[in-house]
Amino acid sequence: MHDYRILEDTYGPPISEQRGCHQKRNVLKKELLSHHSIGKVQTQFFEFNDPKNPLQLSCGTALERYTLAYETYGELNADRSNAILLFHAMTGSQHAAGINHDVPGLDGRWTDEMYEGWWDGFIGSGKALDTNRFFIICVNYLGGCYGSTGPASINPATGQPWGPTFPVLRMRDIVESQVRLLDSLGIHKLHAVVGSSIGGFLSQILATRHPERVGIVVLIGTGPETTVLQRIMNFEQITAIEFDPNFKGGNYYNGPRPDIGLALARRIAHKTFISPDALRARARHEVVSQSPPFGWYEMNSPVESYMLHQGEKFVARFDANSYLRILDAWQWYDLLDGTGAKNLVELFSRCQGQEYLVFSIDSDSSFHPNEQSKLVQILKRAEVSEMWITVNSEKGHDSFLLEPKLYTPHLIQVLHAQEINPGAGI
């Protein structure tokens, strides 16, 4: 008989009998490392309820009621002109900075991996998004699973989770839901919008559909379209989840979850988040293989061990139906749709009053630098002010999460150069 054991690494708790002990140690380590953090924060909730003016979704459904989970950092100035809206990436959350130990009603998805804000190194006093100067807002997507209304939420009409009956979403629906939040806060023009990865898709939608509401647009590791490779990989992930016997068409909330399919989907995506060299460096240096997890096949590489762990860790914090809804929106991403513009140059010509800062990551295999090149050429042809920076990193797409020093000088240069205009937010 064989037994399979995975040794601990620095990127998360081991899958072992000592899991709880190691998790507590990792949480303590994170909090100690966060002594320059803004400290403890709490998630807030925006409750939209307007039967006379519902949120009209792209696929024909109207939402009269929905909730958005969000966090804010810094103070909104008197004329509401210093706000920055930050869009998270696909499986991110509203918790971008500080320490947040609990978000109620998530059925255990707020794991210790979520406690520290995902952009903590970028947000705070004197940081790139300086809380002494700016009011930063980060919102969990409509359709998400961290407090915003999504498939795992209770449908008020039935008293049961929405599950597969949750409306089909497009990227612009996610944006428009957050515009309603901005309206409720009295913010009519943002100092800036910032988005990385598919958060960059959302930033472009906001900037082009509401050009009068955005001053600066910061796009990191993103592009103007869904690429062929992304479509293939997204389809592979959708297939992995849908074919899990526990998925049951999305009706799994009263039984076992489709963890095998969701874990596989995460592994399919994860290999594009980091460069091969970074993946090799992150992987454990030793695999104790005594009982293979998959039938006869016995893993023999630290990289396999690492990827196995990434999937198993992820399923504890995310909902499969939310994952599918966001992937579906990604597959259908189309900046032009519904805008009346004939092409992207015509669309972005509406944004000539904006300033763009575009970042490429030279080792990015999720959004290759060619995608930012396409975007910058469109901006040039549309006569939109732009600055294009290529970051040299060995960490791949995840560089935007891990290396604030590479981005901060450029962010400060652009965000601080444009003086906040008194009255701009009125």
- Between 320-331 and 171-184, two packed helices, what is the crossing angle to 10 degrees? 110
- Residue whose tokens read 């002494």: 132
pLDDT value for 419: 57
pLDDT at 19 over 60: no
Residue 263 predicted with pLDDT over 80? yes
CATH 3.20.20.370 fits 4-15+26-417, yes or no: no
Q: Which of 197, 360, 393, 399 is catalytic?
A: 197
- What are the b/e assignments for 250-268, b being 16+ CB within 10 Å? bebbeeebbbbbbbbbbbb
What are 179-211's pLDDT values in tens digits?
999 999 999 999 999 999 999 999 999 999 999
Asked if the model's pLDDT at residue 51 lies above 70, the reply is yes
User: Which residues partner with 63 through β-bridges?
Assistant: 55
**Catalytic (active site) residue 197:** yes
Handedness of CA 84, 89, 90, 96 (dihedral sign): negative
**How big is the chain, counted in residues?**
426
pLDDT tier for residue 28 given thresholds of 50, 70 and 90: very low
Residue-range domain boundaries for the chain: 4-15+26-417
| Secondary structure of residue 246 in the 3-state scheme | coil
Distance from first CA to last CA of the chain, Å, rounded? Answer: 71
| Pairing relationship of beta strands 214-220 and 355-361 according to DSSP bridges | parallel
Is 55 in contact with 173 (CB distance < 8 Å)? yes
Model-level pTM? 0.90
Q: What is the mean pLDDT of residues 134-152?
A: 98
Tokens read off for 90: 């696909």
Rounded CA separation 178/87 (Å): 10
- Catalytic one of 364, 368, 393, 398: 364
Q: Is-contact 340 282, C-beta < 8 A? A: no
Where residue 290 falls among pLDDT bands split at 50, 70, 90?
low
Question: Are 378 and 344 contacting, i.e. CB atoms less than 8 angstroms apart?
Answer: yes
pLDDT at residue 134, as a whole number: 98
Whether residue 102 lies in the annotated active site: no
Cβ 100 vs Cβ 191: under 8 Å = no
Which of 113, 401, 406, 372 shows the shortest CA–CA distance to 274? 401
- Answer whether residue 244 shows pLDDT above 90: yes
Task: Check 191, 309, 368, 397 and give the catalytic one.
Answer: 397
CB 203 within 8 A of CB 217: yes
pLDDT of residue 289: 55
Q: 363-387 pLDDT, tens per residue?
A: 999 999 999 999 999 999 999 999 9
Under the banding of pLDDT at 50, 70 and 90, the label for residue 8 is very low
